[in-house]
Structures are given as C-alpha cells and as structure tokens.
C-alpha cells in the first residue's frame, strides 16, 4: 500500500487559470480549469491525445517531450501566453504505482496497463516532466504529482464534502481513501495538520488465495506483459474484460461445434475491446445483429448462428457481473475500514441497528462505470446486497467525469 504524503487542501477561494496533465494509459489529457472564486461547477477544457505506439515502449525522454509539446500547443491555442513572467503551477496526474516522496515528487515503481518504458522505472516522475517542460521553454512548475484516484477524490470532495473515497474503474482499477494518520502504520509518527492523509491503495495488485481464478484468468495473466502482477485489476478493469470474453469464445469453438470457424484474428490478444463487449452486452435486437457485426468486424468470425450469439451475450454478462461484484467488494472493504459500512468500524462492535449511518460519498471515474450500463447496475446491486438496503441507501456513488485531471488542477491551485 502506498501512501501519498500530503493532505488534500480544498479550494474555496482561488482565482485564475490552472493546468493539469493526466497520464494514465494509452491516451493522455491536457486540461485547463478556470477558477472563479466561487464554489461553482467546473467546466475544464480538455484535449485528449493518443500516445503513439512507439513512445509506449521507447525512451522516457521522448514520451515526456511529446507530452510537453502537446501542453505547449494547448496553451498557445488558448491564447494564454506561456511566456508570462509568472511561473504557472501544473498538476500532474500520473496513474501508475509511485513511491511518493513529497507532494510534488515520486519515483515510478513499475508500469501497469501495458506501458513499458524501461528506463523510467526507478526515476523521479515529476522531475522528468519538469526537464521536458524546460526543454520546451515552458515557464511552468510541477507543483503536484498525484495518482488518478487522488485527483478524483479531490474533485469529489470539491463537489461534495461527504466524499470519503475515490475509485477508478477504467483501463485499470484502483482506489484511495482518507485515513487518520495514526491508523497508517507506514506513517510512523509523521503528522499532518489535518490529522489525516490520503492512502492510494493500488488495489489492482490485491490478491488473495480465496479469490478463485478460472483457466481464462490464468492464461490471460501468463500471456500479459506483467505476469503474476495486478491480479485484481485483470479480473475487473476495461483493459482485460474483453480479452477474457475472447478467450471463452475461442474455447467454445475448440470444444464444441457451436462456432463453425474462427480466424487468426480471434487468437490475437486484446482483439476484442471493452467498448465492443459493452455494445454486444447491450444488444437487445431479436437477431442480435450488433453481436454478429462485432464478432465479424473485431474477431473476423462471420455467420455466427443466433444460438451462439446468445451465448456470447451470456459470457459478456457473466464476466461483467463478476468484475462489478469484485469492485463492489473492494468498495465495501474501504467502507468497513473507515467505519462506514454500518457495522461500527473495526473497533466499534455495535450492532447494525444501533449505528446511525452518515451520508457517505464515493467518487467514481472510469469508462466501465460511465459507459457500461450493465456493469454499473451490477455494481450498485452488489453494494446493496452486501451492505443491506438500510446502509446502502446512505452510500452514494458520484460520477466524476475527468475527475483525475481536474482534481490535479485544483490541487495545483491550492499550492
Ligand atoms: C493501475 C495503476 C494505478 C491506477 C489505476 C487506474 O492500477 O497501477 O496507479 O490508479 O491503474 O488508472
């Protein structure tokens, strides 16, 4: 478990233009947030850039130069002169496991989610970006380095003071929550003025012998760029779910005659992506025409009989349901740890009926939550099932679009 060594400062009266960079997967985003001095809704300008394949496994300097150039162009387009004599603060959301050494620095422990820039591991992340900004002549200072969960928590808290945790369920999955410093063993007596600290859990790497793995999970893990790593993430997040479904389809073809033929494309890892999976799952046409189209376009499997198309929808359902229920179990784990699951917390010992549940908000970001209707329904359903209706009605999952980047800009504004 990693600890971000700072508290969240919440911005109530800042004014000005603040920037953030959000790097978390094969895309990165540049954001500009205008703060007007009031607690109003934020409408950040956001520009998304896909990271060229070559840069995802090349040299760190090239990646950071590319990011700094995109920021440069973004600022120029906004007519906001980067040549200003005043150094601008920049929030940097970097969503990979980091050993956080200060509010604005941290060392990359390892890559996840398919990135593999070897020379970056063990290096200071904000410093590498800072050097690239200097090479581009940008007068900006990386004042905040955060994980996407922490940015999302900051934005969640900005909108709703009852926010206690943040969860990302997108390409990867992770969570963070606010904890009392005396409850954090790694804190070892270090105090903060608020008495609390944000814990970035890196729950994607959670594993337990009690978590049953199927042969599909085992094969996916073995063939992934990071075997024996990120086990929880590989069962939950958007990068992997489509590939589990693809592996089940292949096995059905090998062991039955339900699919007439499959192609070499269907043997390619990650050929079936989460948005296609969600679209097949949502197909309610009598002939499942969308399922037929996706199987042909994405996996090159034509003429799939209706019976088999129905089975494919069922597979999407089972895989999504498992992912959502695991994510719900993770959320309940946090609520239990901080005494918001209706049981009185780890030291409470009071019965459920004695507890007066406080309104509890969990900020959630990520494509599975925002774009995959059935995932979201299963997640909500599982929370109600585990917590019981009386408790679950006090737990609100708040959709925080672009929270990870906007939150970093807010934190930069508080610098
Ligand atoms: C991966 C990263 C983690 C990030 C999560 C969601 O699990 O290791 O830092 O928060 O993906 O993007």
Q: Which atom in ligand 1 lies closest to the alpha carbon of residue 204? A: 7
Q: Strand runs (DSSP E) across 217-333, as ranges? A: none
What is the per-residue pLDDT for 195?
Answer: 83
Residues in CB range of 333: below 8 A, 6 or more apart:
none
**Residue 200 Cα to ligand 1 middle (Å):** 10
45-54, 67-76, 87-96, 348-357, range with the lowest pLDDT: 348-357
In the beta sheet, which residues pair with residue 163?
361
Kindly state whether residue 377 falls inside one of the protein's structural domains. Answer: no
State the DSSP H helix or E strand holding residue 166, giving kind and residue range, or none if neither: strand 163-169
**Residue 233 Cα to ligand 1 middle (Å):** 9
**C-alpha span between 412 and 373 (Å, rounded):** 33
Which has more confidence, 104 or 259? 104
**Residue 160 Cα to ligand 1 middle (Å):** 23
CA-wise closest residue to 388 among 415, 352, 413, 360: 352
Residues in CB range of 163: below 8 A, 6 or more apart:
153, 156, 157, 361, 362, 363, 398
State the DSSP H helix or E strand holding residue 245, giving kind and residue range, or none if neither: helix 238-255
- Domain with residue 169: its CATH number is 3.30.420.40
Burial of 41 (0-12, 13-18, 19+ CB in 10 A): exposed
Q: What average pLDDT does range 212-222 have in this prediction?
A: 97
Transcribe 300-337 into DSSP letters.
------HHHHHHHHHHHHHHHHHHHHHHHHHHHHHHHH
State the DSSP H helix or E strand holding residue 146, giving kind and residue range, or none if neither: strand 140-146
Name the strands in the sheet holding 140-146, side by side, starting at the edge strand that comes first in the sequence: 45-50, 27-36, 15-23, 88-94, 140-146
Catalytic entry in 148, 221, 283, 341: 148
pLDDT digits (tens, 9 = 90+) for 4-38: 434 344 444 567 888 999 999 889 999 999 887 55
Kindly state whether residue 106 falls inside one of the protein's structural domains. Answer: yes
Which has more confidence, 132 or 185? 132
**Residue 141 Cα to ligand 1 middle (Å):** 24
Is 60 assigned a catalytic role? no
298-307, 314-323, 350-359, 379-388, range with the lowest pLDDT: 350-359
pLDDT above 80 for 403 = yes
**C-alpha span between 144 and 129 (Å, rounded):** 12
Residues in CB range of 51: below 8 A, 6 or more apart:
26, 27, 28, 63, 66
pLDDT above 90 for 41 = no
Question: Looking at the 3D structure of the chain, how many domains does it have?
Answer: 1
- Residue nearest (by alpha carbon) to ligand 1 atom 3: 96
pLDDT above 90 for 132 = yes
Q: What average pLDDT does range 259-274 have in this prediction?
A: 89
Kindly state whether residue 225 falls inside one of the protein's structural domains. Answer: no
Phi and psi torsions of 351, nearest 5°: -80, 160
Is 257 assigned a catalytic role? no
Q: For residue 270, what pLDDT band results from cuts at 50, 70 and 90?
A: very high
Q: What average pLDDT does range 326-338 have in this prediction?
A: 97
The answer to pTM > 0.95 is no
Kindly state whether residue 171 falls inside one of the protein's structural domains. Answer: yes
**C-alpha span between 69 and 65 (Å, rounded):** 6
Q: Output the CA angle 406-412-415, nearest 5 degrees.
A: 150
The chain-wide mean pLDDT, for the chain, equals 90
**C-alpha span between 279 and 302 (Å, rounded):** 17
% of the chain residues with pLDDT over 70: 90
Residues in CB range of 161: below 8 A, 6 or more apart:
none
Kindly state whether residue 31 falls inside one of the protein's structural domains. Answer: yes
pLDDT above 70 for 189 = no
Residues in the ligand 1 pocket, defined by CB under 6 Å? 24, 95-97, 112-113, 147-149, 168, 170, 172-174, 202, 204, 233
Kindly state whether residue 246 falls inside one of the protein's structural domains. Answer: no
What is the per-residue pLDDT for 351?
Answer: 52
Name the strands in the sheet holding 2-3, side by side, starting at the edge strand that comes first in the sequence: 2-3, 196-200, 173-180, 163-169, 360-365, 395-399
Q: Which domain holds residue 49?
A: 5-206+402-414
Kindly state whether residue 215 falls inside one of the protein's structural domains. Answer: no
Kindly state whether residue 113 falls inside one of the protein's structural domains. Answer: yes
């Amino acid at each position: 478990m990693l600890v971000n060594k700072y508290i969240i400062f919440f911005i109530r009266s800042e004014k000005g233009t603040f920037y953030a960079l959000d790097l978390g997967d094969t895309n990165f985003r540049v954001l500009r947030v205008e703060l007007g001095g009031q607690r109003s809704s934020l409408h950040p300008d956001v520009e998304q850039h896909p990271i060229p394949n070559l840069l995802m496994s090349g040299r760190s300097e090239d990646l950071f130069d590319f990011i700094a150039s995109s920021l440069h162009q973004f600022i120029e387009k906004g007519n906001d002169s980067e040549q200003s004599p005043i150094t601008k603060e920049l929030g940097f959301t970097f969503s990979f496991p980091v050993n956080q050494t200060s509010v604005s620095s941290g060392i990359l422990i390892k890559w996840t989610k398919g990135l593999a820039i070897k020379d970056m591991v063990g290096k200071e992340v904000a410093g590498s970006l800072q050097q690239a900004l200097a090479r581009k002549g940008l007068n900006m200072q990386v004042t905040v380095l955060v994980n996407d969960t922490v940015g999302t928590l900051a934005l969640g808290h900005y909108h709703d003071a009852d926010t206690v945790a943040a969860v990302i369920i997108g390409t990867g999955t992770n969570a963070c929550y606010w904890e009392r410093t005396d409850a954090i063993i790694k804190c070892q007596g270090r105090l903060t003025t608020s008495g609390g600290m944000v814990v970035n859990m890196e729950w994607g790497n959670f594993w337990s012998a009690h978590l049953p793995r199927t042969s599909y999970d085992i094969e996916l893990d073995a063939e992934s760029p990071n075997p024996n790593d990120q086990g929880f993430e590989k069962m939950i997040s958007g990068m992997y779910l489509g590939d589990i479904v693809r592996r089940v389809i292949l096995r059905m073809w090998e062991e039955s005659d339900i699919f007439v033929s499959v192609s070499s494309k269907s043997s390619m890892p990650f050929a079936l992506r989460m948005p296609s999976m969600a679209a097949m799952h949502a197909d309610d046409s009598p002939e499942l025409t969308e399922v037929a189209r996706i199987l042909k376009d994405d996996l090159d499997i034509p003429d799939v009989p209706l019976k088999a198309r129905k089975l494919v929808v069922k597979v999407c359902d089972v895989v999504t349901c498992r992912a959502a229920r695991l994510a719900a179990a993770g959320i309940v784990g946090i609520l239990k740890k901080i005494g918001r699951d209706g049981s009185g917390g780890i030291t409470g010992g009071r019965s459920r009926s004695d507890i007066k549940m406080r309104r509890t908000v969990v900020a959630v970001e990520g494509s599975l939550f925002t774009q995959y209707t059935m995932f979201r329904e299963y997640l909500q359903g599982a929370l109600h099932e585990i917590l019981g209706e009386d408790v679950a009605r006090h737990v609100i999952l708040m959709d925080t679009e672009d929270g990870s980047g906007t939150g970093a800009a807010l934190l930069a504004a508080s610098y």
